[in-house]
Chain A
Amino acid sequence: MNWKRDNAVDPALAPELEPELQEALLNFRGSVHAWSGEVYAQPRRAMAVSRHLSWRVALGGAMASLLAAGTLGGVYLHQRAMVRHANTPVAAAVRRAATVAAEPSAVSGGASADERKLDEAAWDVAAIQDLLASDDRQARQDVQAAGGEQGEVDLLAEVNSDVERRAPRAMEPLQRLMDESETQ
């Protein structure tokens, strides 16, 4: 086989073909050889390739940084959401505290000033409940399972302080009840 044949038309290449097809094939061959020869003789473009590659690497790095930042942000937001979910039992505890706070006045059928205070406290507690009621059930179950009884006690203490902070008047009847029971 002669690999260095020149670009001249060679009828021996396809003797079985009709002349028009044969000519087309030989023109095709000549065209590819001419194109390839021209391109092959040109100097290599190593710098251009290298620059192109470094640009791609830089773009890839930027994309990777964005992805990492997005992932970290997502993890942070997820953690925040979990903490918010953890406050869900607080709503139940707040409800209990409000009930306890309301009981003495209901039993004693006390004075109108006390009743007004209790009503206001109940409204405050209801507002807190509304704020906390948006948590979903799944998260509540997770937290309850993870927390256990000790968690409940801690949460109750947290609730007390939270209620005291956000609705100071709500805790007054409870405190009074506790004082009375201590003196008895």
Chain B
Amino acid sequence: MAAGALARPIEETAADRVQTRAVEAVTEEFAKIVADHRQQIFRFLLSSTRDVDLAETLTQECFLKAHRNWHSFRGESSAMTWLMRIAINLQKDHWRNRRMQFWRMTRSNSVDLDEASEWLPSGERSAEQKLLAQEQVKHVWRAVDRLSARQKTVFLLRYVEEMDLSEIAAATGLSEGTVKAHLSRALTKVREEMKGRP
């Protein structure tokens, strides 16, 4: 009896150690996921909202939600697709809530088109080439502003995040055919904007 009473705490300690190791392993695994994909998720949310603060907040919420539901991730899609799906849903929820609670927002932090178009990748370009590139970027931003929420998401996932059609379909929950249709309409609007006829 006494031996059993003494042995139990030792067994429990061993079980605790195993559990602690398992938790540590999951934490490490998740930390790697965050390190690998945080910037991409942030970039997608930034391009969708053009609001730095909002993009940061939604990125944090995305990983918080992912951490809470990490046990339910079965690896059927890539981690990035799974995270992107969470980010898209969070963004949808945000706009829905904002519509409902419009009075709470006294001002918007969105960056305007001109400011967003000033950014160009560093590289050797002449001043004329830079101006031309900025003008093109501005046209695309204008076209993006005219897209519906779905078209915009699909367009950004394809031409900014470079996801292929099947991955976009998995992240958005749309069929590949629908993704293609949205992309086609989005490109039509970009063409129109570039030709100067909205």
Interface residues of A (CB under 8 A from B): 1-3, 5, 7, 10, 13-14, 17, 20-21, 23-25, 27-40, 44, 49
B133 close to A (CB within 8 Å): yes
B interface secondary structure, majority:
helix
Please state if A49 and B53 are interface contacts (CB–CB under 8 Å): yes
Please state if B140 and A3 are interface contacts (CB–CB under 8 Å): no
Return the chain A residue nearest B161 by Cβ.
A3
Known contacts A1-B162, A1-B164; A24 and B140 CB within 8 A of each other: yes
Chain B neighbourhood of A14, CB < 8 A: 159
Please state if A13 and B53 are interface contacts (CB–CB under 8 Å): no
Interface residues of B (CB under 8 A from A): 36-37, 39-40, 42-43, 46-47, 52-53, 56, 78, 80, 116-117, 119-123, 133-134, 136-137, 139-141, 159-164, 167, 187, 190-191, 194
Return the chain B residue nearest A6 by Cβ.
B121
Please state if B119 and A35 are interface contacts (CB–CB under 8 Å): yes
CA–CA, A20 to B39, complex, Å?
Answer: 29
Chain A neighbourhood of B164, CB < 8 A: 1
Chain B neighbourhood of A29, CB < 8 A: 159-160, 162
Counting residue pairs across A and B whose Cβ atoms lie within 8 Å, the total is 88
Please state if B119 and A31 are interface contacts (CB–CB under 8 Å): yes
Please state if A40 and B191 are interface contacts (CB–CB under 8 Å): no
Chain A neighbourhood of B42, CB < 8 A: 36, 40
Known contacts A21-B194, A29-B160, A32-B160; A3 and B40 CB within 8 A of each other: yes
Please state if B121 and A30 are interface contacts (CB–CB under 8 Å): yes
Please state if A1 and B52 are interface contacts (CB–CB under 8 Å): no
Return the chain A residue nearest B56 by Cβ.
A44
Closest Cβ of chain A: how far from B50's Cβ, in Å? 9
CA–CA, A44 to B120, complex, Å?
Answer: 23
Return the chain B residue nearest A35 by Cβ.
B119
